[in-house]
Structure 1
Amino acid sequence: MKKILIIVILAIIVPLIYLIFSNYNNIPKLDENVKEKWSQVQNQYKRRADLIPNLVATVKGYAEHEKSTFVEVTEARSKVSQMNINADTLNNPAAMQQFVDAQAGLSGALSKLMLVVEKYPDLKANENFMALQSQLEGTENRITVARKDFIEAVKLYNLELRTMPGKLVAAIVHPSAQVKETFTASPTEQEAPKVQF
């Protein structure tokens, strides 16, 4: 009778011990994986927080440079067009100097515009805005991928805690392990980011 009892106890305890030892590290590994995936989500949020203001400032810088060039050309052209040249002006040195100065101002503004056109054939503002749009989309996609990875890691962790043998192992050796909440977007996060220039 004692032999049968010992065999039954060993038949129960040995597999249980094997099960615990073979699955002992699953919960800590999965927990660390969840933490790592959440860190990646935070990393992407930080990237967005760092990237977007810099991109907006860069594009604004280009737009302001080009805007100032266009304003300068428009103002210089306006000054030239306001001046009326007639026979009397040719004999008036002060009026002639004003005309020459206005033309020189327009020439300088046009030269500046031509340099911009040579350096930036499309005046680059359009390309910069497209680059900003692409970076915004890329950043949002990175956040989406990081969130997806986090949700998957939480799912694997929760499955380990809610299915056998993980549930048994958790109850015996990791009693503090709790099912984790998955990612939930707040109403603010559900809104698309708004970029204003």
Structure 2
Amino acid sequence: MKGKGCIVLIVIVALIAIVGFWAVGIRNGFVGQEQTVNAKWSNVETVYQKRANLIPNLERTVKSYAKFESETLTKVVEARSKATSVNIDPTNMTEADMAKFQAAQGELSGSLSRLLAVVESYPNLKADQQYINFQREYTAIENSIRSETVYYNDAAKEYNTNIKKFPNNVIANFSNFKEKPYFKAEAGAEKAPPAFSE
């Protein structure tokens, strides 16, 4: 009788240890995926910051053309200021945070689009080498923004799917892992932006 009780106890302890190691493995997987999502978010912020950093160079180039509409340029500078002031903690990001970030970035995109459209009326500015360099770099950064937001959404999808699956969701809820929001297309995104001419 004593031997059977000892065997039952060993089996129970072994099962508890197996379940414990399994749960720790699942939780550690969540940690790795969450860090991937956070890293992808940092990449998104980096390319948006790179775009914002271009604005002072554009401002200097454009200001050298006295006739240029200063109101349009002022709106770009103000939108840049607003866009760079929105900071998000990727470990505790919500849908509202993402919407606020996207709205600020969208305002900057819209201001830049209007500025670039107005530039078309100024052949000397369009021919300026600094402006041509800006256009090239701006186009490359916009492509990077699209790529990085896709990479972020892919990482967020994998993480969100993993923390919602049963029995992972039990461990995720117990360990306080929260769903990450996605980048969403802006209203009117289905329309192609105007092409830049060089």
In the alignment, which residue of structure 2 is the partner of 1:27?
Answer: 30
Offset at residue 147 of structure 1 (A):
0.7
Name the aligned partner's letter for residue 178 of structure 1: K
Name the aligned partner's letter for residue 185 of structure 2: A
Specify which of 134, 137, 140 is matched with residue 136 of structure 2. Answer: 134
CA deviation vs aligned residue, 1:61-87 (integer Å, no higher than 9, x gap): 4x77xxxxxxxxxxxxxxxxxxxxxxx
Please give the residue correspondences for 1:31-180 in structure 2 after superposition, counting only pairs within 5 Å. 31-55=34-58, 57-58=60-61, 61=64, 125=127, 128-163=130-165, 166-172=168-174, 174=175, 176-180=176-180
Offset at residue 44 of structure 1 (A):
1.5
Offset at residue 136 of structure 1 (A):
1.9
Offset at residue 54 of structure 1 (A):
1.4
In the alignment, which residue of structure 2 is the partner of 1:98?
Answer: none
Is the 1:40–1:146 Cα contact (8 Å) retained in structure 2?
Answer: yes
How has the CA–CA distance of structure 1 residues 171 and 36 changed in structure 2, closer, same or farther, with 3 Å as cutoff? same
SS of the counterpart of 2:177? coil
In the alignment, which residue of structure 2 is the partner of 1:185?
Answer: 185
How has the CA–CA distance of structure 1 residues 188 and 53 changed in structure 2, closer, same or farther, with 3 Å as cutoff? farther
Gaps of 5+ in 1: 65-123
Name the aligned partner's letter for residue 167 of structure 1: N
In the alignment, which residue of structure 2 is the partner of 1:109?
Answer: none
CA deviation vs aligned residue, 1:167-190 (integer Å, no higher than 9, x gap): 343244x0x212222112333888
In the alignment, which residue of structure 2 is the partner of 1:18?
Answer: 21
Offset at residue 163 of structure 1 (A):
2.9
CA deviation vs aligned residue, 1:125-160 (integer Å, no higher than 9, x gap): 265554333222101011112212211221222132
What TM-score does the superposition give when structure 1 sets the normalisation length? 0.52
How has the CA–CA distance of structure 1 residues 168 and 15 changed in structure 2, closer, same or farther, with 3 Å as cutoff? farther
Alignment partners' CA distance in 2, 1:32 and 1:171? 17
User: Percent identity of the aligned residues?
Assistant: 29
Alignment partners' CA distance in 1, 2:5 and 2:55? 75
Question: RMSD of aligned C-alpha atoms?
Answer: 3.7
Is the 1:52–1:136 Cα contact (8 Å) retained in structure 2?
Answer: no
How has the CA–CA distance of structure 1 residues 52 and 193 changed in structure 2, closer, same or farther, with 3 Å as cutoff? farther
Alignment partners' CA distance in 2, 1:138 and 1:33? 24
How has the CA–CA distance of structure 1 residues 137 and 147 changed in structure 2, closer, same or farther, with 3 Å as cutoff? same
Gaps of 5+ in 2: 67-125
Q: How many residues align?
A: 136
Name the aligned partner's letter for residue 179 of structure 1: E
